[in-house]
Amino acid sequence: MMKPYISVFKLRISNGLQYRAAALAGIGTQFFFGFMFIMIFEAFYAHTSGTPPMTLAEVITYTWLKQAFLAFIVLWFRDDELFQLITSGNIAYELCRPSGIYGLWYVKLLAQRLASAMLRCFPILILVIFLPEPYGLQLPTDFTSFLLFLATLFVGLLMIVSLSMLIYISVFITMSPAGSLLLFSVFGDFFAGLVIPVPLMPNWMQQIVYVLPFHWTADFPFRVFTGNLSKTEALTGLCIQSIWLVGLIAVGKFAMDRALRRIVVQGG
Amino acid sequence: MTLYFKYMMLLFKSQMQYRASFLLLTLGQCLTPFTVFAGLYFMFDRFGQLQGWDFYEVALCFAVTQMAFSITECFARGFDTFSSLIVSGNFDRLLVRPRSTVVQVFGSRFEFTRIGRLFLSAVVLIWAVTNINVDWTFLKIVALFFMVASGIVIFTSIFILTASISFWTVQGLEIANIFTDGGREMTQYPLNIYQKWVRRFFTFVIPFGCVNYVPLLFILNRDGYQHPVYALTPLAGVLFLIPCLIVWRIGVRHYRSTGS
């Protein structure tokens, strides 16, 4: 029963791994941006009077993780092919397939993100571990928190895919990907802590952020890695993440079924 | 020049055909720098100052850069997406027309949705200018104007330069983003907060420093930068356009069509 999903997944992974030169260029760009963000944070931290809620070393590690796992955490990582399927009416072919469309697209998107991250994250991570003192990546203090990081990052990845599925579903209704994608991703990325880490935001903003699902995808796993969150916090967070994940998938599936029932394919 | 405005009107009319999508995109374009600016505001809320710069001073810096960049993206979008022209072989069509290639590529694309970004940066600029601790003289206003104007020239030059690279590589290179998007992100903050090598690169290789940093010091009346000549430093940035246009020329001469 799982077989078609697994083969779509494999196909997409090997497809994504073809673009090695593009990935290399991407790594260079992400390095540059990483350095730039760190220099800005460093300047802010240089003359601070009180104790900020995150140390500079934590912010630096956070930034590098963000750069390395960009493909896991940004919402705008999109598949134009799927958009074209919807707007051009070729969705009809997809509907003919015997496997569920939600699951199929889900693994497609998941595989794309994994392939892109596999190419990019390891070179970046390895290099930044060996960077000189203030700029380097600080490894977690013990192995358990590293395992917790991997678990939370993975559930976060599943969450981001189910969130981006909602964007694709919204295109069934609006027929134009640009608008909904932009609005959703701009705010999503901000609430996920990609512009500045969530602990550095003012308290009222943090309260808004913690109600929304976005921060579970990036901010939470990264703070588990840096040790900003304790292990018990990480474990309870993992449970909440899973609840969100189940909820998001349920909503996505329901919305997809509704959208597909109303769909009209106009030949051509 | 009349040809250029004709191109512009045509593209404006065609983009206005999809009014709803146009408005949504404009709104979206306005929101992207908005979240970045919100991040900047929150950072100042948390830390109070940035190596002696206060919030409104950095906001001014941010607004000038965003404004220059959004105007550039609106008018020089043709160069930004130039590699697609090469890949499809459509550049051949431009070569047979009896007008300069630069004007034609300029005219090939306009992104009017960038008005959203421009609008936001104008709001930030006004907010910063009215709150900043500066007594505005005529010369300072001129300096501010030059900052935006020559920021546009520099961003345009970078767009031309990266477009020329695709004469050799055919595909556009993602690494070129370091100079366009990276330059934009970088110059949102005063340059002296960065490491020395970064500052040097962005002053002497790509002259953002002359455009953004030095005149800003002049406007703020910082020590050692009070001489009126510093108001005119942005003009030095314009010189950057010359080598970029030369590279473009070499590129055009080097051009071999991809066929199809």
Domain residue extents for chain A: 3-261
d(CA A225, CA A219) in angstroms, rounded, equals 10
Of B45, B173, B189, which is closest to A202 when you measure between CB atoms?
Answer: B45
Place of tokens 């009126």: B228
Task: Give the residue on A whose Cα is nearest the Cα of B21.
Answer: A179
Which ipTM value was assigned to this complex? 0.80
Where does B122-231 show beta strands of DSSP type E? Answer: none
d(CA A129, CA A63) in angstroms, rounded, equals 13
Category of A227 on φ-ψ map: left (φ > 0), alpha (ψ -120 to 50) or beta: left
Q: Spell out the domain ranges in chain B.
A: 2-7+19-254
Contact A29 B189 (CB under 8 A): no
Q: Is the pLDDT score of B132 beyond 60?
A: yes
Residues of B in contact with A195 (CB under 8 A): 35-36, 38-39
d(CA B162, CA A70) in angstroms, rounded, equals 24
Give the residue from A19, A27, A32, A48 with the most B CB atoms within 10 Å of its CB, the best one to mutate.
A32
Task: Give the residue on B whose Cα is nearest the Cα of A44.
Answer: B50
Contact A43 B50 (CB under 8 A): yes
Per-residue confidence of chain A (268 residues) as pLDDT tens digits?
677 778 877 777 777 676 666 677 778 888 888 888 888 888 888 877 677 788 888 888 888 888 888 888 877 766 667 777 776 777 777 777 767 778 888 888 888 888 878 877 888 888 888 887 777 887 877 888 888 888 899 999 999 889 888 888 877 776 666 666 777 778 888 888 888 888 888 888 888 888 888 888 888 888 888 888 888 888 898 899 999 999 999 998 888 888 877 766 665 4
* Phi, psi angle pair for B50, to nearest 5°: -130, 95
| Mean of all residue pLDDT scores within chain B | 81
Task: Give the residue on A whose Cα is nearest the Cα of B195.
Answer: A39
Contact B182 A182 (CB under 8 A): no
Residues of A in contact with B185 (CB under 8 A): 33, 36
Contact A32 B42 (CB under 8 A): no
Contact B193 A40 (CB under 8 A): yes
pLDDT for res B259: 62
Contact A202 B38 (CB under 8 A): no
Query: From the CA of A31, how many Å to the nearest CA of chain B?
Result: 10
- pLDDT: which is higher, B172 or B35: B35
Give the residue from A27, A38, A47 with the most B CB atoms within 10 Å of its CB, the best one to mutate.
A47
Tokens of A154: 């993975």
Q: Rg (Cα) of chain B, in Å, rounded?
A: 19
pLDDT for res B191: 82
Place of tokens 């005119």: B232
